[in-house]
Chains A and B, each alone.
Chain A
Amino acid sequence: MSAFIEVRNVWQTYGDQIVLENLNITVAEGEFCTLVGTSGCGKSTFLRLLLGQEVPSKGQILLGGQQLVGEPDASRGVVFQRYSVFPHLSVLNNVALGLELPRSPLLGRLFGRAKRDAREQAAELLKKVGLGHALDKYPTQLSGGMQQRLAIAQALIMQPRVLLLDEPFGALDPGIRKDMHALLLELWRETKLTVFMVTHDLSEGFTLGTRILVFDKVRHDPHAPNAYGARITYDIPLNPDRRATRAAVDALPAHVTGSLHSVYQGA
């Protein structure tokens, strides 16, 4: 597998404070990376860099060989812990929005047949994530877990190449969390999605990922706590069975694997 995302010598500093120092990793397409580390060690900062919400102070990040665009765009989907869905849109419209915005640059809205098609496609994906019964509800009427399902569906309708998750299940009950893990893994298996997921929960990081990246400060100056930033101290491959399955699927010819991705290629 070739390098899909390449992080080269990336530093992120805010004024005097060094948050990330000298990050270097390559990630192949389709990997599920979980990012763990103590609070304030820069894993969310790293996610923001991948998202394009922030630009690295030094170094560069390549996506498919190209320099990463310095602002969020449709190639990278994102799910935050909170405020990921639009409160003024129904569940169905929250997902259909992703189909409407790129196709209608003037009004951001589709009409007639195109609108019906977009809503059908959105409804299909929503059924898949278990929200088929709540299409006309508003997000505030949904439970926390349901809202995150919606946020994931909303990100996936764009068929992004990269999915970034910033503690997406941090506010959920343990039981609901397990369901969400199953859903996320199922969706990951069916697409060629590369996932980066920040989590506080170590066991979550180990169960879900095919690779876990541990962020930590290697050097520490007690008199100047901001002088050194975090690095990736451990980079451990996980769940070899899933890695192997994915590698095997990738080795198959495209006309066979094509059917596996059909759900998302429907657009």
Chain B
Amino acid sequence: MRLINRHPDGAGRLLLILLPFALVLFAYFTGSSARLADNPNDKLLPSAVQMTDAVKRMAFTEDKRSGGYLLWQDTASSLQRLGMGLGIAAIIGLCLGIAAGTLPLFSAPLSPLLTVLSMVPPLAILPILFIVFGLGELSKVMLIVIGITPVLARDLEQRAREIPAELLIKAQTLGASTWTLILRVILPQLLPRLLIALRLVLGSAWLFLIAAEAIASTDGLGYRVFLVRRYMAMDVILPYVVWITLLAWLMDLGLKRLTQLAFPWYEGAKA
């Protein structure tokens, strides 16, 4: 049988999903135990016990200096920044996308501008953000907003253009004005696409968040990772990276479920 026609069955499928993860973990712990057997003080590849201790210290022990639980504090601040950044970017991106994708008079000046703006590397203008918005929360949120808004806007502009012209004409024959047409036809059809676009930019959003936190912050997941780097505390960094990955994956899953639940009519949500 040709390879292209062979499909894994239920149990085989699960095995194939878990196999690469198991291989990565096996490789890591083999390397770790080899290095630790060589030198018990080695910091590069900490053992499972060392990492568990670090997690206990960061997540379940009060910090002596601040009196809080660092992992949860870091998570809360990071998620707040990320949520605000994603929320603001989604609203601006949606408005720009609808304007550029639906109204030809707005499309003419907006489309080329968005194309150019989306090419500006956001990290290159991070210093400008720090100068303009200061070192507080605002500049970190703004980095996420500036980083992902053009991408969202361009994607939604494209999606808005893909709405068949027949539907727009039909709405007009049903007595829609430009405003009500956007409100009742364009907007509801773009919302599930917005959620999908958000899933795709989630990775970039985390990147910008951690970059901003690494450079100027006093808490947050990115801040902590870069702080403990000075002590080469791999036993903290690795669990933090796993935690960030888990959070990002859960957000992606949550957005996917939300799309399916809120927009049952949307075909693209099934993928």
Contact = CB atoms under 8 A, between A and B. Distances in A.
Contacts of A255: none
Given A87-B266, A89-B188, 9 more contacts: A51-B169, A72-B172, A78-B173, A83-B167, A88-B263, A105-B179, A105-B180, A140-B267, A158-B173
A247 interface: no
Contact of B184 (A83, A87, A109): A109
B175 interface: yes
A105 B180 CA distance: 7
Contacts of A132: none
Contacts of B267: 140
Q: Is the interface on chain B under 10, 10 to 19, 20 to 34, or 35 or more residues?
A: 20 to 34
Nearest to A109: B184
Interface stretch (A59-67, A96-104, A181-189, A193-201): A96-104
Contacts of A84: 166-167, 170
B60 interface: no
Contact of A155 (B173, B184, B185, B265): B173
A80 B166 contact: yes
A118 to B, nearest CB: 12
A72 B173 contact: yes
A158 B175 contact: yes
Contacts of B180: 101, 104-105, 107-108
Interface string A55-78: 000000000000000011110111
Contacts, number: 88
Nearest to A166: B166
Interface string B119-145: 000000000000000000000000000
Interface of A: 51, 53, 71-74, 76-78, 80, 82-89, 97-98, 100-102, 104-109, 138-140, 151, 154-155, 158, 160
A155 B76 CA distance: 52
Nearest to B177: A105
A98 B175 contact: yes
B174 A158 contact: yes
Interface in B139-188: 164, 166-167, 169-177, 179-181, 183-185, 188
Contacts of A154: 170, 174
27 contacts: A53-B169, A72-B172, A73-B173, A73-B175, A77-B173, A78-B169, A80-B166, A83-B164, A84-B166, A84-B170, A85-B170, A86-B170, A86-B185, A87-B189, A87-B265, A88-B189, A88-B265, A89-B188, A101-B174, A102-B174, A104-B180, A105-B179, A108-B179, A108-B183, A109-B183, A138-B264, A139-B265
Q: Chain A: interface secondary structure?
A: loop
A136 to B, nearest CB: 11
Contacts of B265: 87-89, 138-140
B175 A74 contact: yes
Nearest to A78: B173
Contacts of B181: 108
B261 to A, nearest CB: 14
Nearest to A163: B173
Contacts of A155: 173
A73 to B, nearest CB: 7
Contacts of B179: 105-106, 108
Contacts of A108: 176, 179-181, 183-184
Contacts of B171: 86, 97, 101
Given A82-B166, A87-B189, A140-B265, A98 B172 contact: no
B175 A102 contact: yes
B183 A107 contact: yes
9 smallest CB-CB distances across A and B, nearest first, come from A108-B180, A102-B175, A83-B164, A83-B166, A72-B172, A98-B174, A138-B265, A108-B184, A74-B175
A231 B267 CA distance: 43
A43 to B, nearest CB: 17
B171 to A, nearest CB: 7
A97 B176 CA distance: 9
B188 A78 contact: no
Interface string B234-271: 00000000000000000000000000000111110000
Could you say which of B173, B184, B189 has the most chain A C-beta atoms within 10 Å of its C-beta? B173
A186 B267 CA distance: 34
Given A88-B263, A97-B184, A76 B173 contact: yes
A155 B169 CA distance: 12
Contacts of A78: 169-170, 173
Contacts of B264: 138
Contacts of B177: 101, 105
A194 to B, nearest CB: 15
